[in-house]
Chain A
Amino acid sequence: MKMNKLRADVQALLFLFPFLLVYFLFTIWPMIKGVEMSFYKWTLIKKMDYVGTGNYERMFQDNEFWASIWHSTIFVLITTPLMLVLAIVLALIANRNSRLQRFYRSVFFVPSILSVAVASFLGLFVFQPYTGLVNSLLHWIKLLPEGAEIFWLSETHLAWIAISLLTLWWTVGFNFILYLSAMQDIPDEVYEAARLDGASDSQVFWRITLPLLSPITKTITMLQIIASFKVFMQIYVMTGGGPLDQTRPVIQLIWQTGFRKNDLGYASAMSYMLFVILLVLSGLQYWINNRKEAN
């Protein structure tokens, strides 16, 4: 028995080996190398001087870094709750018995298959003045007077709205699918029992559906926070981080520092700071969830 298990493990490892090799070379090794980099002044081609914790000290006094961390945080704070609500609502719609069920499912999911570049350029075209979809629509329903334009991408507040809407539209599909499958996991008997007890639709939702979805909600929240902190491309395409760098997320700053300012050492230090922040947030969330369950 034991022998068999060992053989199975070895076999599994054999199958995994090609992947593990690539994974180590292109993911684990660069991560280790990144730690080393963060202690050096390091350009695109060469290691220059050892600076100890110099890059980290510089980071703590660097307003631009903290501003960009804040911008990423704004993005997380706006999109995460909206994403959860939107995903549940869409899942509820698609979970109803309706002839359009299949249609809903594919329509809600379709934007997710677009690559980030395609989605971002769509966002750019939809929100641009004069010829963009949004402004044209507002003109058409006479909400926006003739000759007036809303500059979605050049005003900081409006830019956040545009970026968030685009991101919601583009990425809600995955979360919607997760919710939908979780909803289908809820046994029908539970609903039947509730109906027999005379529960209303809203009671069923708040007392049964939502609580039974809570494990997946926790998962989605965590994934969403991590993913949202890594936002870059759609902002880069739509606003370039402007106006006045006020929508520049931290990943864009890291990229600029590394590849535009040729300062990979400092860029690595900032990456690790982001890593630590995400680690702490995930740990915190894990701890809160566990404590609740223990109670």
Chain B
Amino acid sequence: MKKSLGILVTFVLLFSMILSACGNGSNGNAGNGGSSTNDGAAENNNGSVTSEGEEKVTLSFWTLFSGGDGDNMQAMIDAFNKEHPNIQVKNTKLEWGEYYTKLITAVGNGNGPDIGISHTSRLPDLIDQGVVSELDGVADEAGVDWSTFNQNILAATIMDGTHYAVPIDTHPFIMYYNKKLLNEAGLLDEQGKPVLEQSADGFVAFLTTLKEKLPQKVTPFALSNTNDDPFRLWWALYSQLGGNDVVSDDLTAAQIDTDKAVQAAQYIQDLFHKHKVIKVNDPDFYKNFQSGTAAIMMTGVWATGTWESTEDLEFGAMPIPKVFDQEATWGDSHTVILPITKKEDPAKRKAAITFANWLADNGQVWAKAGHIPSKPSVFEKQEFKDLPYRSDYVSVASTVKFSKPSTKNWQIRDLAMFKFLNEVWANKMTPADGISKMEAEVQKVLSE
């Protein structure tokens, strides 16, 4: 009798333990983040200057930036608050993995922030869910001049002729190279640029030369084998061939230009398995380049800041080579949005869009992490010119091929494209097979 009681007790205890363990599991990535509000900035300014008659506006701003991005954004907010005594922006940093879920639910029950961040590719979904408000009226009132933005970046944030977001950057997929290794292989010219013929064969020749001339432990081309980066490379090459997204213009059906998609996939699969210039399943592709054991690397511009802070890494940055017919690459943008609020406050909205426009105007700070500012006028500022590398790839802003405004952009990418492209990179599927299965899966995601 006593024993069975003991078992019962352990049973109950264990059960509660498993339940709680499970609870932790599903929230795992929320764990360390939480939110930290920074109101240190608000105190800088009180007292002297606020007596202009206009009422002081306090704005809540939700961001998803961490690391260098997080620091740069905070610095910009502090500077803005200093310059604008009547507007105080308070930054709430949210965990990146939880950001969109929290934003959508908070706006849904009327507790959203005054200002938020959205990726351009995520914007259609947020508009569709009623999270993002239109900007045209308030932008006119605050005197935002849309023509000062890079039109390629801006166009991706306009839906049905209406402005919904103020883009502050674009962060495209570019190429980095290790100057020391390229020099060793005789592929660096006097200006410190790679000697590289911009064509399909030219790029392969470049990589195979690196492979032959450099020690065996050096990886010619450091690239992830799964998910984002090889997908971005595929997107870039597919777009260079003239491919136009994987959904139709009316966004209702999967539409892949099969020949071009297969050709691009074949080219990349060959880099992996025929020319063997990419280390297979390399889990440390970032570190590989960072520690100087990889000659080139492709990823998003956000890596620039990381490489810069790495000692003894002599690197250069450039657009993805024009392997096929036209220049193009993958890219996305960070944009500032004004979430829909329970009670619309015109003063707050005007202040918010003033802030958004100011962020875009002062892109030289934001560019420290590597991003390309959304306003070309920033490129002319001395502070921007003083930053090395950035000017070598700002031209990319006009050749980024953004995805079409489908509400399911992220689902299509995460659930359909990664899945089959990964198999092609692993050499388990032919490009033709992979692309046709991918098209079917994209269609499935769209019709769900």
Q: Which residues of B contact A131 (CB under 8 A)?
A: 283-284
Q: Which residues of A contact B17 (CB under 8 A)?
A: 174
Q: Which residues of A contact B317 (CB under 8 A)?
A: none
A45 near B108 (CB under 8 angstroms)?
Answer: yes
A260 to B411, CA, bound (A): 7
Q: Distance in Å from the Cβ of B227 to the closest Cβ of chain A?
A: 8
B283 near A232 (CB under 8 angstroms)?
Answer: no
Interface string of B396-427 (1 = CB under 8 A from A): 00000000000000110011000110110010
B415 near A256 (CB under 8 angstroms)?
Answer: yes
From B227, B410, B422, name the one whose CB has the most chain A CB atoms within 10 angstroms: B422
B281 near A244 (CB under 8 angstroms)?
Answer: no
A114-156 interface with B by 8 A CB criterion: 115-117, 128-132, 149, 151, 154
A219 near B11 (CB under 8 angstroms)?
Answer: yes
Q: Which of A45, A117, A129 is within 8 Å of B283, CB to CB?
A: A129
> Residue B26 at the A interface, CB < 8 A?
yes
Q: Distance in Å from the Cβ of B377 to the closest Cβ of chain A?
A: 38
A242 to B22, CA, bound (A): 22
Question: A115-B24, A116-B21, A185-B3 are contacts. A130–B283 as well, Cβ < 8 Å?
Answer: yes
A45 near B104 (CB under 8 angstroms)?
Answer: yes
B101 near A223 (CB under 8 angstroms)?
Answer: no
A44 near B108 (CB under 8 angstroms)?
Answer: yes
Q: Which residues of B contact A292 (CB under 8 A)?
A: none
B108 near A219 (CB under 8 angstroms)?
Answer: no
A232 near B25 (CB under 8 angstroms)?
Answer: yes
A243 near B426 (CB under 8 angstroms)?
Answer: yes
> Residue B10 at the A interface, CB < 8 A?
yes
Q: Which residues of A contact B433 (CB under 8 A)?
A: none
A256 to B423, CA, bound (A): 21
A251 to B7, CA, bound (A): 29
Q: Which residues of B contact A219 (CB under 8 A)?
A: 7, 10-11
> Residue B273 at the A interface, CB < 8 A?
no
Interface string of A222-262 (1 = CB under 8 A from B): 01001100101100000010111100000100011001111
A24 to B415, CA, bound (A): 36
> Residue B347 at the A interface, CB < 8 A?
no
Q: Which of A227, A233, A244 is within 8 Å of B419, CB to CB?
A: A244
> Residue A216 at the B interface, CB < 8 A?
yes
Interface string of A158-195 (1 = CB under 8 A from B): 00000000000000001000100000010000000000
User: Per DSSP, are chain A's interface residues mostly helix, strand or loop, or mixed?
Assistant: loop
B281 near A154 (CB under 8 angstroms)?
Answer: yes
B165-188 interface with A by 8 A CB criterion: none
Q: Which residues of B contact A52 (CB under 8 A)?
A: none
> Residue B191 at the A interface, CB < 8 A?
no
> Residue A5 at the B interface, CB < 8 A?
no
> Residue A215 at the B interface, CB < 8 A?
yes
Q: Which residues of B contact A260 (CB under 8 A)?
A: 410-411, 414-415
Question: A219-B10, A242-B422 are contacts. A45–B22 as well, Cβ < 8 Å?
Answer: no
From A226, A242, A256, name the one whose CB has the most chain B CB atoms within 10 angstroms: A242
> Residue A96 at the B interface, CB < 8 A?
no
Q: Distance in Å from the Cβ of B47 to the closest Cβ of chain A?
A: 41
A230 near B7 (CB under 8 angstroms)?
Answer: no
Q: Distance in Å from the Cβ of B341 to the closest Cβ of chain A?
A: 14
Q: Which residues of A contact B440 (CB under 8 A)?
A: none
Q: Distance in Å from the Cβ of A139 to the closest Cβ of chain B?
A: 15
Q: Distance in Å from the Cβ of A147 to the closest Cβ of chain B?
A: 10
Question: A232-B26, A244-B423 are contacts. A44–B101 as well, Cβ < 8 Å?
Answer: yes
A215 near B4 (CB under 8 angstroms)?
Answer: yes
B31 near A117 (CB under 8 angstroms)?
Answer: yes
Q: Distance in Å from the Cβ of B411 to the closest Cβ of chain A?
A: 6
Question: B287 — nearest CB in chain A belongs to which residue?
Answer: A131
B86-105 interface with A by 8 A CB criterion: 101, 104-105
Q: Distance in Å from the Cβ of B277 to the closest Cβ of chain A?
A: 16
A132 to B26, CA, bound (A): 26
Question: A224 — nearest CB in chain B belongs to which residue?
Answer: B18
> Residue A46 at the B interface, CB < 8 A?
yes
> Residue B14 at the A interface, CB < 8 A?
yes
Q: Which residues of B contact A227 (CB under 8 A)?
A: 18, 22
> Residue A73 at the B interface, CB < 8 A?
no
B11-57 interface with A by 8 A CB criterion: 11, 14-15, 17-18, 21-22, 24-26, 28-29, 31
B226 near A242 (CB under 8 angstroms)?
Answer: yes
Question: A128-B283, A130-B283, A223-B15 are contacts. A243–B108 as well, Cβ < 8 Å?
Answer: no
Question: A117-B31, A243-B428 are contacts. A45–B411 as well, Cβ < 8 Å?
Answer: no
Q: Distance in Å from the Cβ of A54 to the closest Cβ of chain B?
A: 13
Q: Which residues of A contact B104 (CB under 8 A)?
A: 44-45
> Residue B107 at the A interface, CB < 8 A?
yes
Q: Which of A44, A116, A128, A151 is within 8 Å of B25, CB to CB?
A: A116
> Residue A221 at the B interface, CB < 8 A?
no
> Residue A209 at the B interface, CB < 8 A?
no
Q: Which of A128, A223, A243 is within 8 Å of B422, CB to CB?
A: A243
Question: B437 — nearest CB in chain A belongs to which residue?
Answer: A244
Q: Which residues of A contact B31 (CB under 8 A)?
A: 115, 117
B11 near A129 (CB under 8 angstroms)?
Answer: no
Q: Distance in Å from the Cβ of B24 to the closest Cβ of chain A?
A: 6
A172 to B35, CA, bound (A): 35
> Residue B162 at the A interface, CB < 8 A?
no
B101 near A259 (CB under 8 angstroms)?
Answer: yes
A154 near B21 (CB under 8 angstroms)?
Answer: no
A242 to B411, CA, bound (A): 16
A237 to B36, CA, bound (A): 26
Between-chain CB contacts (< 8 Å), 24 pairs: A44-B104, A44-B105, A44-B129, A45-B107, A45-B130, A116-B21, A128-B283, A129-B281, A131-B283, A131-B284, A132-B283, A174-B17, A215-B4, A219-B7, A223-B15, A223-B18, A230-B18, A232-B26, A233-B26, A233-B28, A240-B227, A242-B226, A242-B419, A260-B415
Q: Which residues of A contact B (CB under 8 A)?
A: 43-46, 115-117, 128-132, 149, 151, 154, 174, 178, 185, 215-216, 219, 223, 226-227, 230, 232-233, 240, 242-245, 251, 255-256, 259-263
Contacts A129-B282, A174-B14 aside, 7 further interface pairs with beta carbons under 8 A come to A44-B101, A45-B108, A117-B29, A129-B283, A149-B281, A174-B17, A219-B11
Closest 7 CB pairs of A and B: A45-B108, A128-B283, A233-B25, A117-B28, A116-B25, A44-B104, A227-B18
